[in-house]
Chains A and B, each alone.
Chain A
């Protein structure tokens, strides 16, 4: 047959309209162009989703999740109406009700609580991007029991960053992708900032810059890393401290940076007998003191012209004061941190540790450069250039989800700081509203008054024992025991302990558990089966031990079945949201930016954005923040709140297009009725760039500080020193040593003394009960899935519908395993039986699987024979929220003793080859729950246009 070509229409119509909003397929918050097309009936429908090229986060690109948003928006698992439980808890039997009935049920439960004891309500949110709003609601209700899910996510990374540098990784900062020459990544599979990290790696590789990946598992970013370090899980801190040892020993440290921008020169009381032993020397105004190299005399760190001396000691009234840097030298030059001393524990050869440290030194100091940006520092000194140290780092849950994670994260920040790589060209940079020191954040509040709001924000940063959330009798004020001696610096709360503590009545019983977007009866809890039992357990009177559960979700997740009242949320394309500077905005290192979501389509079900439902419910309950003085409802819905709420004068949820004296302006200003229209017209976001010269050295740069005040990020300039030596931690140690009025219980004294070292340390996590369990077991999140959400997505589940347990080759051989065989995996807490597969590019003593692929039969509108529900499994069954009993009758949380971070990755297991189960289903196998939404269709041919 001869060649023939049909006539093709090369310019078909792409869409009838493009609506620009913000993605919510994960926490990354990319801008999306939603292409709308008329269907054959003439209705505008979502036809195609792609990245928004103008958007600061993703600049046009979009990941698999984002492009699959159309399948999430149309998922058969969407809830369609409010529901009340009619069968036993956990059965999935519900009856649809009206919103009026739903509100009146909720009001009948919550009003009496508020009037008598607001702490009987525990309100916790999961994948919530509106925490400044939900926390306002909880504060106005008056309960101390509020947090989002940071405690079981990556609070160690957030808290260590803010306590140490006044800013953290997450999406709160980024490598200087334009200038960095070496990017070292610790333990990240897929996370916040998912597209920016991919874009950054692509960008630096095009320039020939290099990537070092430190991760027991070589997938994703680690697969493209130029060098891979397959470290033993939980030993990252030791590895980092050893590199610090090598760098200090070689003098490969930025002495100017340490002296001028950090507390390395700040004087410490070195008199062991003093009640201030180990505390920083301060002047009458509380300013930290350094010895000025010019005068040789003590001076406040920020005094004009002061040149802090890293080496000088000072004797005052018989007490010797030495700079922090002396303590660091004594600590880190010790041979216990020599590569040879730690190599075996980390699974990295001493030669390799030295080679990596040498490479950091080479790039930081041999490839340094100057940018011709003039700037003036906070001491008034003018600089004609900015020094670049092109080494950057990033880390998230991999290093933080350990019981030694806080100190490990602090160690990593210490490494960044001694190399002089933070907020400099080529290094790691903060995104506004960061930098912001821990002292500029609120402290936790917990004072409960019946019928009245809480005395302040729930969450914050403690600076010593006085700030703990304790009742007058010294018992925990919060249900999750956040901000107590068990975990004093728990900045995000401990969501993973809420159900366990409420069930145990420890520290007290609650009445109503209210949760949003948190799959606590499944993948978001440790000890999944145990949590299901707690949620369904009844007391001697036949009443549920946790009496009432209200839950809001958009989809038929596993948690729905365990609630009494369901408030159905919308999909992300049907709702208003603000990605706010009061919360977790979309800023870049060089710009302030925030964004909205807006209903690009109206819901076709009887559902409501959860935040709008809270506006209604808040008004019905008469909460002051949601009620006008005449008792009427203050915010008609969430959109009304977004536009009209003022947190401080001139500062609202959105910073763009506020009303100023001369028209609309960014930053501070009055509410603008048309603000959301302004956002929509601009593609759904607002951005304003940081002026040239204010872009780096932000914590110390006078121009940045002034700009931040103008924009409403601070109310006054807040220059500060990086905190290598944490005085709040030393204060907790002092209390444990017997100083001060607020004293820890005796059984915690030793732990506090050991773990709260004010300079970063590494310690082996509690191994009691782990005898015989020698293999580490981990999960990773696939790049194309987000938590439990992905499996309901017809396209994404075809990418990740199965999750074998990946075994390293040596373990496969040792146990006679071949791909497709089954193994029993046992921890001190439980056993699972699962299919296995070999992986060579893996730490030789680590097994792992994809996170949250396993599904409960009956959930997510999937067939009960879906592979996710038959062969899919959770590692959660092996991880308990408590450590094994110590025989003291106490409940010890499986958490970091400093922050309460859930220690997911401390898991140790034993493995054994077994016969495949007769039904070829993973164990534990659970009975199906009844689906409240039915099942999905048998075929999909999704096409809106003709």
Chain B
């Protein structure tokens, strides 16, 4: 058992906007690149050019299809596809920390980032088993547990320009679906996004109090619903004529007024 700090000064984490994530995997690979070269052991790959390639990733994108329910007697709405990036959520009550037998897993007092001290990690894998999100991966080459560090070696790094002191996945996200900040500060960009867009916890019933939040997709296919009530749009298509001759006479009259 490893203790969690009673309180952290900041609560650093990510807001991931499911309304704009196009599922491009940019975050996945920039994370792989940065964390292979930086913090701790490189993220290794086994059989990388072979029959069953597998490697360590700290961030993965899953895709889920959603079938919205039927409303009234209308035809079933179209199915939707949601891209869902997932990495460590830096939980306030992180079960991966409390389960660690060596104290290698810990939550930082300063900012709440959950990290693995690789020097103390014995590779037992208990933390990965305890994490309800599947957010930790054992590196097969190094035999230590790897996880999202929230780029702790970027966000305070004085060798980087200030603007680049954010996680690699946030810096690279082409559609700006990822945001980084302090959830302990109600005025921070991430707190405000969560307030405005109804940011959600992932699997709150697990009681882990995740710091990372997800912004839900906005309602889709609203025009398809409005076709049932075309009256709302009808004024925009009120005919000026039904065939060419009438149209040309409308044209003459309209041009007079231009």
Using CB atoms and an 8 Å cutoff, list the residues of chain A in contact with chain B.
1-6, 8-14, 35, 37, 47-51, 53, 58, 60-68, 70, 76, 190, 194-195, 198-199, 201-203, 205-206, 212, 218-228, 230, 246-252, 255-256, 293, 309-311, 325-326, 329-330, 333-334, 349, 351-352, 354-359, 361-362, 365-366, 783-784, 792, 794-799, 801, 839-842, 861-863, 865-867, 870, 935-945
| A798, B152: Cβ atoms closer than 8 Å | no
Q: How far is the CA of A205 from the CA of B102 in the complex (A)?
A: 46
Q: Contacts A195-B174, A227-B223, A939-B46 given: A358-B106 contact, CB under 8 Å?
A: no
The reply to whether B222 and A801 form a contact with Cβ atoms under 8 Å apart is: no
Given contacts A63-B24, A794-B55, contact A199 B176 (CB under 8 A): yes
Q: Is the CB of A227 within 8 A of B176?
A: no
B216-247 toward A: CB 8 Å interface, digit per residue (1/0)?
01101111101110100110111111111001
Q: Distance in Å from the Cβ of B30 to the closest Cβ of chain A?
A: 4
Q: 14 A-B pairs, CB-CB below 8 angstroms?
A: A10-B156, A67-B26, A76-B49, A202-B176, A227-B223, A248-B247, A311-B251, A352-B224, A792-B49, A794-B49, A840-B67, A840-B79, A939-B48, A942-B37
Inter-subunit contact B223/A356 (CB<8 Å) = yes
A198 touches B175 (CB 8 A): yes
Contact at B223–A359, with CB atoms within 8 Å?
Answer: yes
Contact check, A841 vs B80: say whether CB atoms are below 8 A apart: yes
Q: In the complex, what residues of B have CB within 8 A of residue A50's CB?
A: 30, 33, 168, 171-172
Interface size class of B (residues with CB under 8 A): 35 or more
User: Which residues of B98-112 have CB atoms within 8 Å of chain A's CB atoms?
Assistant: 100-103, 106-109
The answer to whether the Cβ of B157 comes within 8 Å of any Cβ in the partner chain is yes
Q: Select from chain B the residue with minimum beta-carbon distance to A75.
A: B49
A11 touches B157 (CB 8 A): yes
A866 to B248, CA, bound (A): 65
Q: Contact check: which of A9, A203, A252, A326 meets B237 at CB < 8 Å? A: A252
**Interface-located stretch among B15-23, B127-135, B180-188, B199-207:** B15-23
User: Chain B residues with Cβ under 8 A from A870's Cβ?
Assistant: 51
A67→B224 contact, CB < 8 A: no
Contact A351 B50 (CB under 8 A): no
Instruction: Please pick, from B41, B82, B244, the residue contacting A329 in the complex, using a CB distance under 8 A.
Output: B244
Given contacts A4-B106, A198-B24, A839-B65, 7 further A-B contacts (CB under 8 A): A3-B106, A4-B103, A10-B156, A63-B26, A355-B230, A866-B51, A943-B42
Q: Which residues of chain B are within 8 angstroms of A13 by Cβ–Cβ distance?
A: 159
Known contacts A6-B119, A841-B78; A227 and B221 CB within 8 A of each other: yes
Closest partner residue, chain A, to B228 (CB atom)? A351
In the complex, the answer to whether A936 meets B48 with C-beta atoms within 8 Å is: yes
B52, B152, B254: the one contacting A251 at CB < 8 Å is: B254
Bound CA–CA A356/B117 (angstroms): 56
Q: Which residues of A are found within 8 Å of B122, using beta-carbon distances?
A: none
Closest to A13 in B: B159
Interface residues of B in 63-88 (CB under 8 A from A): 63, 65, 67, 78-83
Complex contact B174–A199 (CB within 8 A): yes
Q: Measured between C-beta atoms, what is the minimum distance from B184 to chain A in Å?
A: 18
- Is B93 at the interface (CB under 8 A from chain A)? no
Given contacts A10-B153, A11-B157, A359-B233, whether A293 and B255 have CB atoms under 8 Å apart is: yes
Nearest-CB residue, chain B, relative to A867: B51
Q: Are A1 and B1 in contact (CB under 8 A)?
A: yes
Q: Which residues of A contact B221 (CB under 8 A)?
A: 226-228
- Beta-carbon contact of A221 and B22 below 8 Å: yes
Chain A residue nearest to B139 in the complex (CB): A941
A358 engages B236 (CB within 8 Å): yes
Name the one of A11, A333, A334, A936 contacting B49, with C-beta atoms under 8 angstroms. A936
Q: Assess whether B159 is in contact with A329, with CB atoms less than 8 Å apart.
A: no
Q: Verify B48–A937 contact, CB threshold 8 A.
A: yes
Q: Report Cα–Cα, A219/B23, bound state, in Å.
A: 8
Q: Tell me which residues across on chain A come within 8 A of B237, comparing CB atoms.
A: 246-247, 249-250, 252, 354, 357-358, 361
Determine the chain B residues whose CB is within 8 A of the CB of A944 once the complex forms. 37
- Chain B residues closer than 8 Å to A354, beta-carbon distance: 227, 230, 233, 237
Given contacts A249-B239, A936-B48, contact A48 B37 (CB under 8 A): yes
Q: Is the CB of B236 within 8 A of A362?
A: yes
- B residues sitting closer than 8 Å to A (CB atoms) are 1-5, 19-26, 28-30, 32-34, 36-38, 41-42, 44-55, 57, 63, 65, 67, 78-83, 100-103, 106-109, 115, 117, 119-120, 141-142, 152-153, 156-160, 163-164, 168, 171-177, 217-218, 220-224, 226-228, 230, 233-234, 236-244, 247-248, 250-252, 254-255, 258
Query: Contacts A70-B33, A784-B29, A943-B37; is A349 near B49 (CB within 8 Å)?
Result: no
Q: Are B176 and A938 in contact (CB under 8 A)?
A: no
Among candidates A61, A212, A937, residue contacting B174 with C-beta atoms closer than 8 Å: A61
**Cβ-closest chain A residue relative to B163:** A53
Between A and B, how many residue pairs show CB distances below 8 Å? 335
In the complex the two chains form, is A795's CB within 8 Å of B152's CB?
no
**Set of chain A residues within 8 Å of B258, measured between Cβ atoms:** 255-256
Interface contact A67-B33, CB-CB below 8 Å: yes
Contacting pair B248 A311 (CB below 8 A): yes
Knowing A47-B37, A205-B19, A224-B20 touch, does A866 contact B49 (C-beta < 8 A)?
yes
Closest A residue to B252 by beta carbon equals A311
Choose one: A3, A48, A358; the contact of B4 (CB below 8 Å). Answer: A3
Which of B37, B47, B81, B157 lies in contact with A219, CB distance below 8 A?
B81
Q: How far is the CB of B239 from chain A (nearest CB, A)?
A: 5
A251 touches B175 (CB 8 A): no
- Chain B residue numbers with a CB within 8 Å of A794 are 45, 48-49, 53, 55
Query: Nearest chain B CB to A35's CB is how many angstroms away?
Result: 8
Known: A841-B80, A942-B42. A1 touches B163 (CB 8 A): no
Contact A355/B174 with A10-B157, A255-B255, A936-B48 known, Cβ cut-off 8 Å: no
A1 to chain B, nearest CB (A): 4
- Ranked nearest first, the 5 interchain pairs of A and B with the lowest CB-CB distance are A936-B49, A202-B175, A198-B174, A840-B79, A794-B48
B244 touching A201, Cβ below 8 Å = no
Chain A residues in 8 Å Cβ range of B252: 311
**Contact call A3/B2, Cβ cutoff below 8 A:** yes
Cross-chain contact A941 with B158 (CB below 8 angstroms):
no
Complex formed: what's the CA distance from A937 to B46 in Å?
Answer: 9
If A3-B3, A355-B226, A940-B55 touch, does A250 touch B239 (CB 8 Å cutoff)? yes
Contacts of B103 in A (CB 8 A): 1-2, 4
Q: Are B24 and A64 in contact (CB under 8 A)?
A: yes
Q: What's the Cα separation between A805 and B158 when bound, in Å?
A: 49
Q: Report yes or no: B244 in contact with A333, Cβ–Cβ below 8 A.
A: yes
Task: Return A358 CB to nearest CB of chain B, in Å.
Answer: 4
Residues of B within 8 Å of A252, CB to CB, are 236-237
Contact B49 A840 (CB under 8 A): no
Contact with A799, one of B25, B46, B220 (Cβ below 8 angstroms): B25
| Bound Cα distance A936, B20 (Å) | 37
Is B157 a contact of A783 with CB atoms below 8 Å? no
Residues in chain A near residue B80, CB distance under 8 A: 218, 223, 228, 841
Taking the closest CB of chain B, its distance from the CB of A25, in whole angstroms, is 10
| Residue among B48, B81, B247 with the highest chain A CB neighbour number at 10 A | B48
Is B26 a contact partner of A62 (Cβ separation < 8 A)? yes
User: B227 contacts which of A4, A47, A352, A938 (Cβ < 8 Å)?
Assistant: A352
A940 lies within 8 A of B2 (CB): no
A227 touches which of B1, B24, B224 (Cβ 8 Å):
B224
Report yes or no: A49 in contact with B33, Cβ–Cβ below 8 A: yes
Once the chains bind, are B218 and A226 in contact (CB under 8 Å)?
yes
Q: What is the bound-complex CA distance between A799 and B23, given in angstroms?
A: 11
A5/B109 in contact, CB under 8 A: yes
| Chain A contacts for B141, CB-based, 8 A | 939, 941
Q: Which residues of A contact B251 (CB under 8 A)?
A: 255, 310-311, 325, 329
Instruction: Determine whether the beta carbon of A798 is less than 8 Å from that of B45.
Output: yes
**A229 CB, nearest partner CB in chain B, Å:** 9
Among B19, B47, B152, B248, the residue within 8 A (CB) of A224 is B19
Separation of A357 and B211 alpha carbons in the complex (Å): 43
Which B residues lie within 8 Å of A12 (CB)? 38, 153, 157, 159
Chain B residues with CB under 8 A of A248: 247
Task: From known contacts A9-B153, A309-B255, infer whether A333 and B21 are also in contact, taking CB-CB under 8 Å.
Answer: no
